Amino acid sequence: DADVTQTPRNRITKTGKRIMLECSQTKGHDRMYWYRQDPGLGLRLIYYSFDVKDINKGEISDGYSVSRQAQAKFSLSLESAIPNQTALYFCATSESPYSRGTEQPQHFGDGTRLSIL
Amino acid sequence: KQEVTQIPAALSVPEGENLVLNCSFTDSAIYNLQWFRQDPGKGLTSLLLIQSSQREQTSGRLNASLDKSSGRSTLYIAASQPGDSATYLCAALLRTGNNRKLIWGLGTSLAVNP
C-alpha cells in the first residue's frame, strides 16, 4: 500500500461545484502539504500544515480551503470550482526537522488529476 | 525574486551514457536542495537531499553536488538505463525573511533510448 494516498485519482466536474480532495498517510509524519502542478508553472504550494492545530496558506491559497482532520488526514476543498483550477494536485508529507535536526525530504502521493469544465 | 532554473528542459541520450542535469538557484541563503524524479501519472519520488553543510550525496548510480557560492547543483547519472527515463525536478529550500520557502524548478525531461 502507498504511504501517501490521494483520492480520487481523477475527477471531472463542472464550474461552480464544490469538490474535496482527500489525502491520508501512514508515514506518521507531522507535516502535510497540498500542491498543484501546471505545465510551464511547476509545483506551487496551496496550503501546508505542520501539525493538527497548525494550518498555513501557501503562495496560491485563494479559492481553496483545507482541513486537517487528524495527523494522518489532510483534505483540500474547492468551494466553487472554476476552470483555471484544472490541474494536477499533489499531497505531500514530511517528518518534522526537530526530530533529526535537519529538514527532511517530502514524500508525495500519486496525484489527483482534476478537470473543471 | 527567488528562482530555481533547470537546464536543459529536455534531454535524450542513448543507453549507457553518463549524464549531468543542472539546477541553479538565485539565493545563496540555502538550507538544502532536493532532487526528485517524476514518472508520468505518478507523484514525485525523493532521490537525494543535500544539506547546506554538505557538498554531495550519493545513492547508487546517482550523485548530487551542491555549490552554494555559485548557486548550482548537479545531478550526475552514471551508466544511464531506459528505466531512468522520467522528469527530474530540483527544489531549493531558501531563506525568505524569517521564514523558509521551498522553490521548485520546472524539471528536465529525460529520455534514455535503448
Report d(CA B25, CA A98) in Å as an integer.
Answer: 26
Per-residue pLDDT of chain A (117 residues; tens, 9 = 90+): 569 999 999 999 999 999 999 999 999 999 999 999 998 888 999 999 999 999 999 999 999 999 999 999 999 999 999 999 999 999 999 988 877 777 788 999 999 999 999
pLDDT of residue B58: 96
pLDDT of residue B6: 96
Q: Which residue, B9, B18, B75, B30, is CA-closest to B48? A: B75
Grid cell, residue A72, equals 494522518
B107/A42 Cβ within 8 A: yes
pLDDT of residue B24: 96
% of chain B surpassing 90 pLDDT? 81
The average confidence (pLDDT) of chain B is 93
Instruction: Show Cβ contacts of residue A37 under 8 Å, excluding neighbours closer than 6 positions.
Output: A43, A44, A87, A88, A89, A90, A111
Q: What is the dihedral of CA A6, A7, A12, A15, to 10 degrees?
A: -90
pLDDT of residue A36: 97
B51/A45 Cβ within 8 A: no
Which residues on adjacent β-strands are paired with residue A112? A89
pLDDT of residue A1: 55
B43/A40 Cβ within 8 A: no
Which residues on adjacent β-strands are paired with residue A16? none
Binding-face residues of B in 27-66 toward A, CB within 8 A: 31-32, 34, 36, 41-46, 49, 51
Q: Which residue, A117, A80, A115, is CA-closest to A8? A: A115
Evaluate if residue B42 carries a pLDDT over 90: no
pLDDT of residue A87: 96
Query: Do β-strands B72-77 and B19-25 pair in parallel, antiparallel, or remain unpaired?
Result: antiparallel
pLDDT of residue B107: 96
User: How confident is the model over B62-107, as pLDDT tens digits?
Assistant: 999 999 999 999 999 999 999 999 999 999 998 888 888 899 999 9
Evaluate if residue B111 carries a pLDDT over 90: yes
* CB-based contact B35:A91 (threshold 8 Å): no
Kindly tell me the sign of the dihedral angle through the C-alpha atoms of A21, A97, B76, B90.
positive
Nearest to B31 among A103, A106, A108 (CB): A103
